[in-house]
C-alpha cells in the first residue's frame, strides 16, 4: 500500500512555524506509525484551482490515500485514528468520549484563541482590534478555567492519551508566548506532556524542516520575529 500524501507550505511567517495545521496530521501519523509523503505548496498556490479541487477553502493540509482525498485537519486526524490503532479507545464509550474531546478542542476552545490571533496578528493594525481584545481574552480565560477544572490532576483528558488530547494540546499550543499560556499550571504541564511525546517531536521536526523556501517579496518582513528584524536592519 502506498503512503498517504499530505500537503503543507514550504514557507510561513515566523509566528506560524510549528503551528500550521499539517502538524496535527503529522503528529497523528507519527503516533500510529504510519509513514507519509508531503507535497509542499509555495505561498499563494493553495488558492489556485488545482488545490481548491482538494481543499475548497484554499488551505492546508489535505490528505490523499489510494483514491481518498480529505481536508480539514480534525477530520483527517479522526480518519487516521479510526483506521489505525492507538488514538481511540477500543470500547465504544471511551471512543465516543475521545471524539467528544476532539470536537471540544476545535469547536469550543479554539475559536476564541483564533479570534485572539486575528486581533493581535492578522488585523492588529485595524481600529477595531484593540478594543476587542479584553472581551476575547475574557472568553479564552473562561474556557481555560473550565478545561483546567475538568482536567484536574489527571494526566490526560479521559484515561489514556487519545486523539482528543492530540487536538486539545495542538490548540493550547497556539497560546505560547501569551500571558494566557501560564494561567493554569495543570494545563501548562498537560501541554508539555504532549509535546514531550516522541511522535510529536518527530512531527514538529519534520514540519520545521520543510520550511525551505524564501518568502514572497510582499511577505519578506514576516520572515523573522520583530526583534530579529530590528537586528538585521
Do the Cβ atoms of 80 and 32 come closer than 8 Å?
yes
Residues 53-69 have a mean pLDDT of 97
From the list 162, 161, 159, 183, the residue with the least C-alpha distance to 172 is: 183
Q: In which band, very low, low, confident or very high, does the pLDDT at 225 lie, cut at 50, 70 and 90?
A: confident
User: Which CATH number does the domain 5-86+200-221 belong to among 3.40.30.10, 1.10.150.110, 3.40.50.20, 3.20.20.70?
Assistant: 3.40.30.10
Residues of the chain with CATH 1.20.1050.10: 92-197
Question: Helix (H, G, I), strand (E, B), or coil: what is residue 139?
Answer: helix
Residue 232 predicted with pLDDT over 70: no
Residue 231 predicted with pLDDT over 70: no
Residues of the chain with CATH 3.40.30.10: 5-86+200-221
Q: In which band, very low, low, confident or very high, does the pLDDT at 2 lie, cut at 50, 70 and 90?
A: confident
Do the Cβ atoms of 39 and 60 come closer than 8 Å?
no
Q: In the CATH hierarchy, which fold is given to the domain comprising 92-197?
A: Glutathione S-transferase Yfyf (Class Pi); Chain A, domain 2 (1.20.1050)
Give pLDDT tens digits for 16-37: 999 999 999 999 999 999 999 9
The pLDDT mean for the chain works out to 94
Residues in CB range of 92: below 8 A, 6 or more apart = none
pLDDT reported for residue 207: 98
Residue 66 predicted with pLDDT over 50: yes
Residue 226 predicted with pLDDT over 80: no
Give pLDDT tens digits for 175-220: 998 999 988 999 999 999 999 999 999 999 999 999 999 999 988 9
Q: pTM surpassing 0.85?
A: yes
Q: In which band, very low, low, confident or very high, does the pLDDT at 76 lie, cut at 50, 70 and 90?
A: very high
Task: Give the percent of the chain with pLDDT over 70.
Answer: 97
Centre a 10 Å sphere on the Cβ of residue 129 and count the other Cβ atoms it contains. Answer: 16
Amino acid at each position: 500500500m502506498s503512503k498517504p500524501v499530505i500537503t503543507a507550505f514550504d514557507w510561513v511567517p515566523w509566528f506560524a512555524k510549528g503551528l500550521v495545521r499539517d502538524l496535527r496530521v503529522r503528529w497523528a501519523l507519527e503516533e500510529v506509525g504510519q509513514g507519509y509523503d508531503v507535497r509542499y505548496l509555495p505561498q499563494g498556490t493553495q488558492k489556485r484551482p488545482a488545490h481548491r479541487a482538494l481543499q475548497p477553502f484554499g488551505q492546508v493540509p489535505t490528505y490523499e490515500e489510494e483514491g481518498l482525498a480529505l481536508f480539514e485537519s480534525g477530520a483527517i486526524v479522526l480518519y487516521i485514528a479510526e483506521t489505525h490503532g492507538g488514538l481511540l479507545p477500543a470500547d465504544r464509550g471511551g471512543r465516543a468520549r475521545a471524539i467528544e474531546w476532539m470536537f471540544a478542542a476545535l469547536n469550543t476552545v479554539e475559536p476564541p484563541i483564533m479570534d485572539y490571533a486575528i486581533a493581535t496578528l492578522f488585523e492588529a493594525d485595524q481600529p477595531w482590534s484593540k478594543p476587542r481584545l479584553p472581551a476575547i481574552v475574557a472568553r479564552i480565560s473562561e474556557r481555560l478555567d473550565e478545561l483546567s477544572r475538568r482536567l484536574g490532576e489527571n494526566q490526560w483528558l479521559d484515561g489514556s492519551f487519545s486523539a482528543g488530547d492530540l487536538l486539545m494540546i495542538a490548540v493550547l499550543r497556539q497560546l505560547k508566548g501569551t500571558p494566557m499560556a501560564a494561567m493554569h499550571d495543570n494545563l501548562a504541564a498537560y501541554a508539555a506532556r504532549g509535546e514531550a511525546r516522541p511522535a510529536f517531536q518527530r512531527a514538529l521536526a519534520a514540519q520545521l524542516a520543510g520550511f525551505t523556501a524564501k518568502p514572497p517579496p510582499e511577505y519578506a518582513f514576516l520572515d523573522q520575529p520583530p526583534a530579529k528584524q530590528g537586528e538585521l536592519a
